[in-house]
Amino acid sequence: MQSCRIEVSVLQTREEIVPLKPDWDRLAAGEKQDGVFRGYAWNTLWLKHIAPEAVPHVLKMTNERGEVVGIAPLCERGYEDRFFRVRSLGFTGREVVCGDCLDILAATGYEEEVRERMLEHIERMLGHISLVVLGECLRDSPTVARLDEWVRAKGWRAQWQEERVVPYIELPSSFAEYRQRISRNTRENLRRKGRQLLKAAGCSLVRLRGPDEVLPQLPHFFRLHEARWKSVGRKGVFAQPGFREFLRAFVAEAHPQTVSELYMIQSGDRPVAATLFFRSGEAVLYYQSGWDPASPEARLSPGFVLHGQAIADAISEGYRYFEFLRGDESYKKKFTTTAKRTTTLVLAGRGLKPRAYLAAMRAKEWGKSLHARIMPGGKRE
């Protein structure tokens, strides 16, 4: 850790945050595997389109030379869970848009001190806020370890909850080597369904890169995503207010280190499946997908074929990781058995209401644990 005095400034308007963009992107670029969700564009566009009611509470940390060495991207906003509603402090870029692996940003050598300054600030805020919700942090990260130690030492009412699985692939040097890691059935399906789609069915696989190519095709992507979910009686995530505007803006404005790519299966000039990826640092991140369940090509699993092609491209282009969003859906297990885990800290601030809420959440988690012991896999032993 660098031994120097760090000055903390609290930025509470969107206008104050704008000059921080170069330093924010510089620090985010240091996150080679999980940098997509920590960059300036992701967080500020989330504030604009997803949580316009939120008040920025970004901690800017500078060293004695005036260099920005740390950022804690926080905001104040309403927290709701059924009939429970209070004001909370937490990371930006999380809700609705599925921001994963959230954390502080810190220059090399300043990580520990930046983390401590954030904790000191949160402690001062506990007298003015009902809940602190620090969500989707990597369970094995230094930040989670320090938060847990800090909460226990202070004796505060808090709970870790919403542990989620985040599958990923640590990519080998060749696709042939990767194929040996997956099951024989998955290997055969990738080969057979790819051949059927691209040869027998006469489809083409199109790879679009960057805002100039991706933005014009986003309406097709949204349509296919909606069709996929409508077929099972649901609306899909892009029906949520502001999400489409957020994604259009992010594709257009993301830092040059983050490149958007849209893989599409087309039958003639008609898109029948599309999958959106972000490439950042050493990782390719799968974000969302969609397909037309009514098309003849749907039976050939076009989304599965697109994932296989994207993984092959990532390996050939020298990326180290292929990341999935959180969730343990069965299709992800066909591609990998490796996963990270994220967790969320909920810390009670002032008042009886948040303490009662934490007590209710503990009871709920205890009930889930008991149910899992009595009925593993949904069946009584």
What's the topology of domain 172-319? Answer: Aminopeptidase (3.40.630)
Q: Where in the chain is the domain with CATH 3.40.630.30?
A: 7-164+342-350, 172-319
CA 27, 30, 36, 39: dihedral to nearest 10 degrees?
A: 10
CA distance 19 to 68: 11
Q: What is the DSSP string of 174-233?
A: -HHHHHHHS-HHHHHHHHHHHHIIIIIS--EEEEEESHHHHGGGHHHHHHHHHHHHHTTT
Cα distances from 221 to residues 155, 208, 296, 327, in angstroms, run 49, 12, 18, 21
CA distance 164 to 146: 19
CA distance 103 to 229: 31
> How confident is the model at residue 379, as a pLDDT?
37
For residue 254, give the DSSP letter: S
- Do 54 and 75 touch, CB atoms closer than 8 A? yes
Handedness of CA 45, 49, 52, 54 (dihedral sign): negative
Give this prediction's pTM. Answer: 0.91
Q: Which of 323, 257, 283 is nearest to 26 (CA)?
A: 257
- The tokens describing 208, both together, are 């679009």
Q: Which of 39, 49, 59, 77 is nearest to 113 (CA)?
A: 59
pLDDT by residue for the chain (381 residues), tens only, comes to 555 689 999 999 999 999 999 999 999 999 999 889 999 999 999 999 999 999 999 999 999 999 999 999 999 998 887 778 888 999 999 999 989 999 999 999 999 999 999 999 999 999 889 999 999 999 999 999 999 999 999 999 999 988 999 999 999 999 999 999 999 999 999 999 999 999 877 899 999 999 999 999 999 999 999 999 999 999 999 999 999 999 999 999 977 789 999 999 999 999 999 999 999 999 999 999 999 999 999 999 999 999 999 999 999 999 999 999 899 999 999 999 999 999 999 999 877 778 788 887 777 777 766 766 676 544 333
The DSSP H or E segment spanning 236 is none
For residue 340, give the DSSP letter: E
Of the CATH numbers 3.40.630.30, 3.20.20.70, 3.40.50.300, 3.30.70.990, which one belongs to the domain with range 7-164+342-350? 3.40.630.30
